[in-house]
Amino acid sequence: MNPAPLLKALALSLAIGLATAASAADPNATCMMCHADASAKGASGKSIAVDAARFAKSVHGEMQFKCTDCHADVSADKLPHPEKLQPPVCASCHEQAVKDYTGTPHGKARADGKTLAASCANCHGAHDILRSKDPASRTNHVNLEQTCASCHGNEALIRKANIPGGNVAGQYHDSIHGRLLHEKGPRQAMAPECTDCHGTHNIRAKSEKASRVARANIPTTCGSCHQREKIVFDKGMHGKMLQAGNVAAPVCTDCHTAHTIQETTRPQWQLAVIGQCGNCHDDFISSYRLTYHGKVTNLGFANIATCAACHGAHDVRPASDPLSKVSAENRLATCRNCHANAGPKFASWDPHPQPANKERSAILYYTSIFMQVLLAGVFIFFGLHTVLWAYRSLRAALARRRGGQ
Ligand code: HEC
Ligand code: HEC
Ligand code: HEC
Ligand code: HEC
Ligand code: HEC
Ligand code: HEC
Ligand code: HEC
Ligand code: HEC
Ligand code: HEC
Ligand code: HEC
Ligand code: HEC
């Protein structure tokens, strides 16, 4: 008979007995007997080491929590414990957080057995959980981007877990908000990171009505910081439509995007917005492109009237509204922002000409008919001219040949 297993078991129960005696001082000493060893591994090869010093500095360690507060299915009195244990519990103390999390895309995916979605430990850590206000915490304002980016900025994982949106963390990183977050100084605290727009334990997919990034809620979410723009937007035509429940109206992200937001003074962005307006107002962009303003912006220069330069950005209104920047009352003043010397007649120039519309664009209509007739005339005249010329050359050549024989 091999005495080794028996000896081992005896030694173990002796050690556990000693540790249990010691555990009056440190209730976790029993567990740390095996888990303090930095090289300790489980059967699957995964490390089972627990860094006692780090745990002691964590929010739970500071309060001298027992290992079994979280690993509730293990008991210091019943060792050795089974190889496979239940996931640690948080709900016994953080009921609300667990409840909120359960309904989110992360919580639902986890419940469906998809282990790539964020768990409590993915965002907070396990034995090293710190309060969010601690600068070293994973959930501290400045570090959160990195925490979310460990998945939403990880191309391989995005593909594997089929995460919607792609590498949004990379996009955010280079946006005006992301750049502000990396700016050392007092303004850093003002920059929105992922959870300012998405929430934390109440993250929802954009398709869910309760989501902070659902279309109808976006102005409120952005407006929590951009109050001035939100107030103006709400009073304009687009904002009013949205309040009436019309989701055909544009929201902040249609013009600014969600994760690649840039300074609005950037010419490239100003030119891109023209295309956004045009996506919904196709008649007006095509007429705009016929004008000097529209041709110049089409060539890539933004130093000229864009849609927003005439209509405003957040307070667009029908031309019949006296408050509109292009109303009969305000139109000249709007032109004069750039055409400082414009006389009263200047504003009667049509910024949205329709050459095919006789009533609206009479001069253009007749000019364009004249040009078409002229064009056709030129073709007919010179076409005929060429044919006759060819006939004459042919005859002359034939005559020369006959004369030569
Ligand atoms: C006699 C040594 C020993 C003691 C004492 C011990 N463990 Fe373990 N523990 C192990 C080993 C070995 C594993 C790896 C099991 C495996 O995966 O093969 C493990 C794994 C674990 C795991 C991971 C389980 C999983 O499913 O991956 C947890 C959690 C754990 N122990 C908690 C505790 C707690 C809490 C205590 C104290 C009450 C404790 N252990 C005491 C040896 C011990
Ligand atoms: C605040 C709750 C909490 C406390 C207290 C706690 N753990 Fe854990 N433990 C966790 C979490 C969370 C995980 C990670 C589970 C996962 O990744 O799925 C974990 C994982 C483990 C593992 C598996 C290996 C690993 O690191 O992933 C071991 C072993 C373990 N804990 C042992 C201990 C021991 C020993 C103590 C006491 C010193 C302890 N735990 C205290 C929450 C806790
Ligand atoms: C997607 C990342 C993420 C996940 C997943 C997550 N949290 Fe949080 N949690 C945060 C962030 C960020 C904060 C800080 C919020 C703040 O400062 O306003 C936070 C705050 C907390 C707080 C302190 C404030 C409060 O709401 O009471 C607790 C406790 C907490 N989380 C527990 C949990 C538990 C338990 C789970 C798992 C059920 C979990 N968290 C899952 C990101 C996450
Ligand atoms: C036995 C009760 C208990 C358990 C179990 C527990 N916690 Fe805690 N946790 C606390 C207490 C108490 C605090 C300190 C709260 C405070 O001081 O505001 C805390 C603090 C936290 C904080 C810091 C909150 C902040 O202020 O930013 C986070 C995050 C957290 N716990 C997450 C977890 C997670 C994740 C789990 C599960 C793996 C867990 N806790 C398990 C009791 C518990
Ligand atoms: C451990 C990896 C991981 C971390 C960390 C993580 N996520 Fe996720 N996230 C996922 C996965 C995987 C999904 C897809 C879940 C599914 O299958 O529906 C997802 C889904 C989402 C969705 C829903 C997308 C949709 O429209 O369905 C949002 C929003 C989101 N995460 C935001 C965040 C934010 C914000 C953070 C940081 C506070 C974060 N995530 C941290 C892995 C992660
Ligand atoms: C300024 C607000 C804001 C910030 C900051 C922000 N998001 Fe978003 N996010 C949104 C909005 C709004 C949407 C809705 C989709 C859209 O309009 O493009 C969205 C959509 C998403 C989606 C779903 C994409 C899809 O197509 O379904 C994920 C995942 C996501 N965000 C993760 C993140 C992560 C991770 C971060 C931080 C690195 C982050 N977001 C930062 C506003 C923001
Ligand atoms: C947590 C606060 C916060 C939230 C939420 C937020 N922003 Fe910002 N945003 C800022 C700050 C701070 C700046 C930097 C302003 C500066 O540099 O002066 C900024 C800058 C901008 C700029 C550039 C302004 C310029 O000067 O040209 C735009 C556009 C913008 N945000 C749009 C949005 C949109 C759209 C949303 C919602 C999807 C949003 N923001 C959500 C705080 C926020
Ligand atoms: C229809 C397109 C459009 C929509 C919708 C829109 N914006 Fe703008 N936004 C613009 C344009 C164009 C500018 C540039 C204005 C300028 O140069 O005078 C701008 C400028 C800004 C600025 C820079 C400061 C300023 O006022 O010039 C911020 C911040 C901003 N928008 C936030 C928002 C927020 C928040 C929302 C939603 C409530 C929103 N925008 C909706 C087109 C839009
Ligand atoms: C997501 C689509 C969308 C975008 C983007 C958009 N609009 Fe609109 N806008 C509408 C809708 C829908 C109306 C309601 C009137 C209609 O049906 O034509 C409207 C109304 C207007 C009106 C009032 C005209 C009227 O017929 O009463 C003006 C002016 C206007 N938009 C200008 C702009 C400008 C300038 C931009 C870009 C800076 C822009 N819009 C971007 C959808 C959009
Ligand atoms: C040079 C100034 C100017 C520019 C640039 C301009 N518009 Fe206009 N827009 C006007 C004026 C003036 C009117 C009113 C015309 C009228 O009375 O029929 C108008 C009318 C409109 C209307 C209809 C308003 C109503 O009440 O019926 C829409 C929609 C519109 N513009 C969208 C756009 C879009 C989209 C762009 C850019 C592609 C654009 N505009 C560029 C000056 C401008
Ligand atoms: C954001 C500035 C801006 C606004 C607003 C603007 N324009 Fe212009 N426009 C220009 C620039 C720059 C040119 C290029 C030629 C020049 O400098 O006069 C131009 C050219 C023109 C031209 C053709 C060239 C010429 O001088 O004959 C006409 C016509 C014109 N604008 C009419 C208008 C009318 C009418 C309005 C008001 C409804 C208006 N513009 C509003 C900047 C603007």
Q: What percent of the chain has pLDDT over 90?
A: 82
Instruction: Answer yes or no: are the C-beta atoms of 288 and 205 closer than 8 Å.
Output: no
The residue written with tokens 């006939």 in the block is 391
227 in ligand 7 pocket by Cβ < 6 Å? no
User: Separation of 119 CA from ligand 5 center, angstroms?
Assistant: 10
Q: Between the CA of residue 287 and those of 297, 301, 364, what are the distances in Å?
A: 13, 18, 12
Which of 108, 137, 145, 152 is the pocket-test mutation for ligand 5 (most atoms within 8 Å of CB)?
Answer: 152
Nearest 5°: phi and psi at 380? -65, -50
Q: Is the pLDDT of residue 15 over 60?
A: no
Instruction: Tell me the C-alpha to C-alpha distance, in Å, between residue 132 and each of 59, 162, 190, 201, 202.
Output: 10, 29, 16, 14, 17
Who lines ligand 3 at CB under 6 A?
Answer: 90, 94, 97-98, 101, 106, 118, 120, 123-124, 132, 139, 144, 195, 200-201
Token pair belonging to 309: 């330069």
In tens, the pLDDT along 286-308 reads 999 999 999 999 999 999 999 99
| pLDDT per residue as tens digits for the range 213-242 | 999 999 999 999 999 999 999 999 999 999
Ligand 2 lined by 118 (C-beta under 6 Å): no
| For ligand 9, atom 5: residue with the closest CA | 277
Whether the per-residue pLDDT at 243 is higher than 90: the answer is: yes
Looking at the predicted structure, is the pLDDT value of residue 147 above 60?
A: yes
Q: Is residue 197 within 6 Å of ligand 6 at its C-beta?
A: yes
Cα separation, 91 vs 88, in Å, equals 9
Nearest CA to ligand 9 atom 42: 249
- Identify whether the C-beta of residue 288 lies closer than 8 Å to the C-beta of residue 281: no
Task: Name the CA radius of gyration of the chain, rounded.
Answer: 36
**The pLDDT of residue 27:** 79
- Judge whether residue 1 has pLDDT over 50: no
Instruction: For residue 223, give the nearest of 251, 202, 195, 203 by alpha carbon.
Output: 251
Q: Tokens 């439509």 map to which residue?
A: 241
pLDDT in tens, 45-92: 999 999 999 999 999 999 999 999 999 999 988 889 999 999 999 999
* Cβ partners under 8 Å of residue 274, min gap 6: 285, 288, 297, 306, 307
Whole-angstrom Cα distance, residue 65 to residue 61? 6
Q: What is the pLDDT of residues 353-399, one digit of tens each?
A: 988 877 777 777 777 788 888 888 889 999 999 999 999 999 999 99
